[in-house]
């Protein structure tokens, strides 16, 4: 499964990219606002830090506005993926972007029916929001499983990008459910490396090694 970072913090991105485990980046208007920087500048810098897809979201709600903004964003770098909301206008724009060869990430998906429409529109990625569904008493992972079944049934190429990920367990569960990708906050990415038993085992190994008085070098 591909792992994307959901961030506009380029300093954090530079650090985590050194792991070789970051496959792409997603952004949204909230993250851009928090950066306090011009959107085009932020996206261009991120695209220079990672080779994989970088999602940049349109702000317009009408079709023509989405198309104009999406084309401008796609022109920033070859790895930009235009992010559009899962609305009627968003899917109309997605269909046109598909014709033009512009990759899209259809966001704010909360049902399998919505995901079906996005795939029919030619979306490159669909972003079901797992955590937000869980917050409202639904089963976010069940949505991943439903989308996976629909896409497999009909051979859709749209990739499932699990979003609104809150914990390492969410990442593992999304992978088991068949998600192609997951976009996660940097803190959750860091948490993927950790387990208390790993720390405890390593502490014991190092203590035992120190007793030998040996050096590998």
> Would you say residue 137 has pLDDT above 90?
no
Q: Give me the catalytic one of 14, 34, 83, 194.
A: 83
Average pLDDT for 96-115: 98
Q: In the chain, what are the domain boundaries? A: 2-212
DSSP SS3 for 197: helix
Token pair for 121: 């529109």
Q: What is the pLDDT of residue 24?
A: 98
Burial of 92 (0-12, 13-18, 19+ CB in 10 A): middle
Q: What is the pLDDT of residue 2?
A: 98
Token pair for 61: 């709600």
> Would you say residue 134 has pLDDT above 90?
no
DSSP SS3 for 182: strand
**40-43 LR contacts (CB < 8 Å, sep 24+):** 40/73, 40/76, 42/8, 42/10, 43/73, 43/76, 43/77, 43/80
Average pLDDT for 133-149: 92
Integer angstrom CA distances of residue 155 from 24, 83, 148, 178: 24, 22, 10, 14
pLDDT confidence band for 135 (50 / 70 / 90): confident
> Would you say residue 106 has pLDDT above 90?
yes
Write down the mean pLDDT value for the chain: 96
> Would you say residue 138 has pLDDT above 90?
no
Q: Is residue 194 among the annotated active site residues?
A: no
> What would the pLDDT profile of 23-64 be if each residue is shown by its tens digit?
999 999 999 999 999 999 999 999 999 999 999 999 999 999
2-212: CATH topology? TIM Barrel (3.20.20)
């Amino acid at each position: 499964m591909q792992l994307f970072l959901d961030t506009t913090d380029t300093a954090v991105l530079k650090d985590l990219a050194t792991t070789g485990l970051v496959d792409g980046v997603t952004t949204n208007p909230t993250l851009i606002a928090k950066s306090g920087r011009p959107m085009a500048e932020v996206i261009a810098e991120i695209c220079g830090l990672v080779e994989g897809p970088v999602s940049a979201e349109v702000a317009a709600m009408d079709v023509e506005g989405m198309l104009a903004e999406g084309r401008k964003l796609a022109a920033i770098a070859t790895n930009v993926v235009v992010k559009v909301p899962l609305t009627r206008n968003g899917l109309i724009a997605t269909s046109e972007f598909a014709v033009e060869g512009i990759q899209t990430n259809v966001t704010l998906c909360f049902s399998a029916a919505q995901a079906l429409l996005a795939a029919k529109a030619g979306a490159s990625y669909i972003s079901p929001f797992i955590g937000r569904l869980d917050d409202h008493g639904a089963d976010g992972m069940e949505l991943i499983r439903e989308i996976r079944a629909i896409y497999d049934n009909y051979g859709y190429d749209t990739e499932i990008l699990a979003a609104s990920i809150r914990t390492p367990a969410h990442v593992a569960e999304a992978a088991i459910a068949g998600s192609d990708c997951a976009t996660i906050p940097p803190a959750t990415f860091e948490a993927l490396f950790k387990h208390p038993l790993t720390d405890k085992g390593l502490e014991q190994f190092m203590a035992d090694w120190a007793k030998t008085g040996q050096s590998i070098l």
